[in-house]
Amino acid sequence: MTNAQVNPLLEDFKTPHQTAPFSEIKNEHFLPAMKEAIKQGEAEIQAIVDNKATPDFLNTIEALEKSGRLLSRTLGIFFNLLNSETNDELQGIAQEGSPLLTKYQNDIFLNPMLFNKVKYVYNQKNKLDLNPEQQTLLKNTYLGFVRQGANLSDAEKEKFRQISTELSMLTLKFDENVLKETNSYEMHITDKNKLAGLPESALEAAAAKAKSKNKPGWVFDITMPSYLPFMKYADNWELRKELYLAYMSKSFKGNEFDNQENVRKIANLRLEMAKLLGYKNYADYALEQRMARNPGGVYQLLDELLDVSYSVAQKEKEEVSAFAAKSGFNEEIMPWDWTYYSEKLKEARFDLNDEMLKPYFELNKVVEGVFGLATELYGITFNPNKNIPVYHEEVVPFEVSDSDGSFLAVLYTDFHPRPGKQGGAWMNDFKGQWKENDEDSRPQITIVMNFTRPTETKPALLTFNEVETFLHEFGHALHGILANSTYSSLSGTNVYRDFVELPSQIMENWAVEKDFLDRFASHYQSGEKIPAELVDKIKASENFLAGYLSVRQVSFGYLDMAWHTLENPFDGDVKQFEESAWKRTQIFPVIDEACMSTQFGHLFAGGYAAGYYSYKWAEVLDADAFSLFRDKGIFNKEVASSFRKNILEKGGTEHPMVLYKRFRGQEPSVDALLQRSGLK
């Protein structure tokens, strides 16, 4: 092979910690690398099948676990770039590669000889001397085969292949449509009078956006750092309405980016798959391996939260409406008015708004503060290493070290919106953690945000909500960084979906603690620490609109469950279905042009199908868990050590309730959440 033909994805990475050599990787390398990695993975699987020795834990279960590492490494790089730095070429590769990857997975799980070996070992489980992690791996491996169709007839297996292949293509297309729809919209304003009410920071950011597009005036779009300040502060209700409808009608316009048919197809294919596997609906299938166990458990939580939240939300709406009327607004409050007038009420009631807080949350200082919290709790440190390659100039790579100086992980941070980046915020890994032959192969973690950019005159100043978002995603990152498992499939965030949000959501609790904020929150110009009265106002306003925000999250849970408890194929109107699904939770009139389902990536392109309730369930867990920190001290080393040892390090090696009780000493109660949020 000549140098011109060398594919860096198939070579050993000669980089610090064998991180991805991004500068060497070109788009055209991905598909050949996927095909070669699949070929190697298939050979590893065939070796297990051909092994003449009696199947046992080592030669079957562990061998399966270790197979396909080259493919995992390749896909870790590819799919992270697809979300963080995508383009038409990468999206084309995803469409071409997706059926190959689905076939590879199906060829493993639908291989009868391989399944017979797995089943043989599983049936011996009570005779084997396995530790808890090995027991979990054995159980997960066996159930993985069963849940991926291993017990189906040949004809049913063929059907399963068709369904899974089509689903993989549709979920990619769903995400692609939402991103393209987001990037296709802008609101260009040249008359500054139309922008009354907007703070200077929002105007400066919009002017910079216009300048980058060689346009005069100001450009706003539907990425969160542009959208949210406009909805909070712009006095012009017609422009607020225009921007709101642009945001809420993503992939619901009947154009080339429309997702209505994709929603129907995805829901129906999931139902068909579940029925093929013997379940009456997809939620029954998905929840079998969740803490909620079944739809009844989910509805019990959602109903309980709705019962205590809805009347509070209605009262909050009345208060905002009365405040708007006093301000001279005598129309019915609509969704595009809600953020504007509720923000005005918050300011009047608590003398607090984002613009007062942002000067104290300069991004680099926030990074220091959040990293410093991990140092305080867990003894770990973060050092930037410019020798680690990155996929975009704004990405900063860090080496993470433990308290004894040993290497723990690589962490990439990627903070600002770009046209090639999906909206929202997330944590992922380029490579997970595992142990083999006395080697602890450490993880490579990434956290990706869409935070406010710096401008020509100001550094990146974050809203308080962005600070909370950072803490949230950093909690996920800690789950990955501190992973201490033998097997990669049980490591880090590879846990039940309704447990994975505990490590992230618990971190948000520190955001309102003065002792924490004092460590980093200082005015970017004067250096003055955030005043105690401002922190008091943050705490006082913490439960502002708690009822509304709770009902909103619960509504998403009901919508999710409605799509995934369907027991007959759906060919109706997506919008009507949505309105029916969450009718009990709505406090505003129906907006015909708005649709959540067509842009709800968590459900139709992510891993939260029949699992969106997880955010509320994790709030129950995190409120209960943080109450222990509150009792013992928010920087208490003993509590932190227990949380690290029993939750963060353990990943999915044991059942989450076992791990939680080991940390907390008891099962969680919803009371801590209701008390924290002022709903009880």
Q: So which residues are the catalytic ones? A: 473
Record the tokens describing residue 117, joined without a space.
């070996």
Q: Provide the 3-class DSSP secondary structure of residue 577.
A: helix
CA angle, residues 431, 105, 269, in degrees to nearest 5: 110
Bridge pairing between strands 407-414 and 444-448:
parallel
| CA gap 339, 229 in Å, rounded | 9
CA angle, residues 588, 592, 594, in degrees to nearest 5: 80
The closest of 20, 36, 32, 34 to 81, measured between CA atoms, is 20
> Is residue 420 within 8 Å of residue 87, measured between CB atoms?
yes
**Interacting residues of 54 by C-beta distance below 8 A, sequence separation 6+:** 120
Record the tokens describing residue 71, joined without a space.
């493919």
* 185 exposure class (CB count in 10 Å sphere: 0-12, 13-18, 19+): middle
| CA gap 81, 167 in Å, rounded | 21
* 347 exposure class (CB count in 10 Å sphere: 0-12, 13-18, 19+): middle
| CA gap 484, 491 in Å, rounded | 7
| CA gap 23, 14 in Å, rounded | 12
User: Alpha carbon of 544 to those of 266, 349, 471, 552, 557: distances in Å?
Assistant: 37, 10, 20, 14, 22
| CA gap 121, 143 in Å, rounded | 13
Q: Hey, what's the torsion of the CAs at 15, 436, 76, 646, to 10 degrees?
A: -110
DSSP states along 336-394: HHHHHHHHHHHHHHHS--HHHHGGG-BHHHHHHHHHHHHHHHH--EEEE-TTS--SSTT
Residue that is written with structure tokens 């050590």 in the block: 641
> Is residue 8 within 8 Å of residue 70, measured between CB atoms?
no
Residue that is written with structure tokens 């993989």 in the block: 168
| CA gap 95, 165 in Å, rounded | 11
